[in-house]
Amino acid sequence: MKKLREIFKGFATKSEHHQHHDCCGGAEHSHQEEDTAHLKTTYQCPMKCEGDKTYNAPGRCPVCNMYLAPVG
């Protein structure tokens, strides 16, 4: 169950940060800001169909339909 929490940890919205949790008896507590480095990731076609063009979100290349790969 802990692994599932880790997997879905990044899907939490900001409004969920202020909810009470069963895990801590419903007591109020604060959450530290999550790492936002993953939000700055750019994606690019691994075949470089469009040269050095990058995208801000994962998806598929509009030319070859391959999944875009994260760029350093």
Q: Encode pLDDT of 33-54 as tens digits.
A: 556 655 689 999 999 999 999 9
* Torsion from C-alpha of 50, 52, 57, 59, nearest 10 degrees: 30
Within a domain: 8: no
pLDDT digits (tens, 9 = 90+) for 1-45: 666 666 666 555 444 555 555 665 656 656 565 566 556 899 999
Report the number of distinct structural domains present in the chain. Answer: 1
In a domain, 19, yes or no: no
Whether 10 is in a domain gets the answer no
- List the one residue out of 21, 22, 38 whose CA is nearest residue 30: 21
Q: Residue 58: inside a domain, yes or no?
A: yes
Question: Which residues, listed in sequence order, are joined to residue 70 by a DSSP beta bridge?
Answer: 43
Share of the chain above pLDDT 90, in %: 43
Residue 47 located in a structural domain: yes
- The 3-class SS string of 5-48 reads HHHHHHHCCHHHHHCCCHHHCCCCCCCCCCCCHHHHCEEECCCC
Confidence at residue 43, expressed as pLDDT on a 0 to 100 scale: 97
Give the range of the structural domain holding residue 60, as residue numbers without chain letter: 39-71
Whole-prediction pTM: 0.47
Local structure of 65: helix, strand or coil: coil
